[in-house]
Amino acid sequence: MTLYYRYKIYLLIQVRYALKLAYKGTRYRGWQSQVNGTTIQEEIEAQFKRIFQMKTNILGCGRTDAEVHARNFVAHFDAGDELPPRFLFRLNQMLPPDIALYEVFKVNDDFHARFSATYRKYIYKTTFIKNPFRNDEVLFLFKKPDINLMNKGCVELLKHKDFAAFCKSSSDNKTTLCDLMEAKWIEVDGGYEFHVKANRFLRNMVRALVGTLLNMGYGDITMEQLQDIIASKKRSESGKSVAAKGLYLEEIGYNWDEFRK
């Protein structure tokens, strides 16, 4: 069969697939394709092209920033009714070791990796132990903050919906409202982790929240000042964004019973 007829059949019999993957973001400029720098989306689409012999658009559940990692990322793409044999195995062989594809399955045509998600959960990792082998995976803190103060700040955050004060000032969001479902600091071996879950996040929001809460943990801002920061709706009032390297997209929620075929 010629490539022309293979192409026509491919276009006529297309179905939607969900793709589950993980990646270490250190070497990349984030998920989404862009002019400057290599991205996760570009790496995967390049290998799809080798297999399908044509460009396949892969849409992700969100746009992680440069150096941000993802333990559970979901994307979707449209392809023929039957995928090539050993599809995931072949792709994983071709992809670099810092990108891993775990599962691919058919979903309904109305499934969208970004807009069908019901929640996202991020974890930000910090450590008090300087370790050159983990330097690109966690944020090293020279001084231990007060976790109780930071968790009191989290309780305050959960009372609010508008997080404009923690959004990158150049962002063009239609709304700065987010339904925050979880926000807490937990102690782990040698450090603290910030766990946060919401229906959506604004650009740079998690890293700005972490920076502000660390300021609170160090006694640089009070509860009243945190309340004023939130009420101001100004990014210039909140704390400095922490480094991207400690941020992980941990979980994406979907009603899979509704979408999975």
pLDDT score, position 35: 82
* Residues that are catalytic: 65
What was the pLDDT predicted at 124?
A: 99
Q: CB neighbours of 78 closer than 8 A, spacing ≥ 6?
A: 14, 15, 16, 17, 56, 57
Q: Which two tokens stand for residue 250?
A: 């941990």
Strand 119-127 and strand 139-140: pairing? parallel
Which H or E element spans position 209?
Answer: helix 205-217
Work out whether strand 99-107 and strand 247-253 pair parallel, antiparallel, or are unpaired: unpaired
Token readout for 188 is: 């782990």
Predicted model pTM: 0.93
pLDDT tens digits for range 142-153: 999 999 999 999
Q: How far apart are CA 21 and CA 26, in angstroms?
A: 16
pLDDT at 10: 55
Q: What is the pLDDT of residues 77-95, one digit of tens each?
A: 999 998 999 999 999 999 9
Closest CA to 31 of 18, 44, 17: 44
pLDDT in tens, 32-66: 988 888 999 999 999 999 999 889 999 999 989 99
Is it the case that residue 139 has pLDDT exceeding 90? Answer: yes
d(CA 15, CA 13): 7
Residues 166-183 have pLDDT tens digits of 998 766 678 999 999 999
User: What are the distances in angstroms from CA 46 to CA 21, 33, 37, 40, 211?
Assistant: 16, 11, 15, 10, 36
Domain spanning 3-115, CATH architecture? 2-Layer Sandwich (3.30)
DSSP-derived 3-state class of residue 162? strand
Dihedral in degrees, nearest 10, Cα atoms 11, 15, 16, 17: -110
Q: Does domain 119-251 have CATH number 3.30.70.660?
A: yes
Domains 3-115 and 119-251 belong to one CATH topology: yes
Query: Residue 116 carries which DSSP code?
Result: T
Residue 1 pLDDT greater than 50, yes or no: no
Please report, for the chain, the start and end positions of each structural domain, with discontinuous segments joined by +.
3-115, 119-251
